[in-house]
């Protein structure tokens, strides 16, 4: 088997950066594989240092550096993992397009509710309103009590009916008839004619 080129292996190890969008788990796994070919005496320290130098999150680097010489590989991995999990959870909380555990985003529920309310407002009330009632001349449900119930029609004097819905014809109103006695003198006849004219006015 060809001998491993330690220099080139170390070059690859030291050039390895955490890519944008790459999970920390994948990144640290790659570092552990690369360091095996580098021949370092303390591989854990080299991987630890590479995590600090090559992480794509400046916040993680700052926290790791703050630990100083107390930082171990295990602590570095735990801190980086915890930060990545926290960022994922935070994104799920603030991103309106994130569906967390199957729950619909709040704005989606609100929009759907508003859309449903608008549909109800715009929809014609065919189901609630019936045909025009022949007693009150209004449209109302069959179950609803007719407003003309117990009322007397002012046109035909029938019960349970409004005048505007009445189909009865109004009785013919005749003008009073003034008669003239043929034996009445001409002057009195003129008075009667005058009276007839006034009656017809």
Condensed to tens digits (0 to 9), the pLDDT of residues 139-164 reads 777 656 787 787 888 888 888 887 88
Would residue 143 count as lying in a domain? no
Dihedral pair phi/psi, residue 107, rounded to 5°:
-65, -30
pLDDT in tens, 30-46: 999 999 999 999 999 99
Q: Is residue 182 part of a domain?
A: no
* Beta strand ranges found along the chain (DSSP E): none
What residues make up the domain containing 41? 6-93
Residue 79 lies in a domain: yes
> Is residue 108 in a domain?
no
| The overall pTM is greater than 0.95 | no
> Measured in Å, how far apart are the chain's first and last C-alpha atoms?
135
- Is residue 70 one of the residues assigned to a domain? yes
52: in domain: yes
- Look at residue 73 in the predicted model and tell me its pLDDT: 96
Number of domains in the chain: 1
Say if 61 falls within a structural domain.
Answer: yes
Please state the separation of Cα 100 from the chain's center in Å: 19
**pLDDT of 8 higher than 50:** yes
Domain assignment present for 44: yes
Integer CA distances (angstroms), 186 to 126, 177, 189, in order: 73, 20, 5
Residue 131's pLDDT band, with cuts at 50, 70 and 90, is confident
Q: Which two tokens stand for residue 77?
A: 């991995």
User: Which CATH number do you get for residue 67?
Assistant: 1.10.1200.30
Contact 18, 50 (CB under 8 A): no
């Amino acid at each position: 088997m060809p001998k491993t080129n330690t220099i080139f292996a170390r070059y690859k190890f030291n050039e390895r950066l955490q890519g944008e969008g790459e999970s920390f788990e994948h990144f640290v796994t790659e570092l552990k594989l690369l360091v095996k070919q580098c021949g370092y005496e303390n591989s854990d320290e080299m991987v630890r240092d590479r995590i600090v130098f090559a992480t794509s999150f400046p916040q993680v680097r700052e926290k790791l550096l703050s630990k100083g010489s107390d930082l171990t590989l295990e602590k570095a991995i735990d801190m980086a993992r915890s930060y990545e999990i926290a960022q994922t959870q935070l994104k799920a909380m603030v991103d309106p397009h994130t569906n967390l555990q199957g729950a619909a985003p709040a704005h989606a529920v609100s929009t759907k509710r508003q859309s449903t309310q608008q549909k109800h407002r715009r929809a014609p009330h065919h189901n609630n309103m019936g045909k025009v009632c022949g007693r009150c001349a209004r449209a109302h449900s069959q179950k609803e009590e007719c407003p003309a119930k117990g009322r007397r029609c002012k046109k035909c004097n029938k019960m349970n009916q409004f005048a505007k819905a009445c189909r009865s014809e109004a009785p013919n109103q005749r003008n009073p008839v003034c008669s003239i006695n043929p034996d009445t003198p001409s002057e009195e006849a003129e008075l009667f004619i005058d009276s007839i004219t006034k009656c017809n006015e």
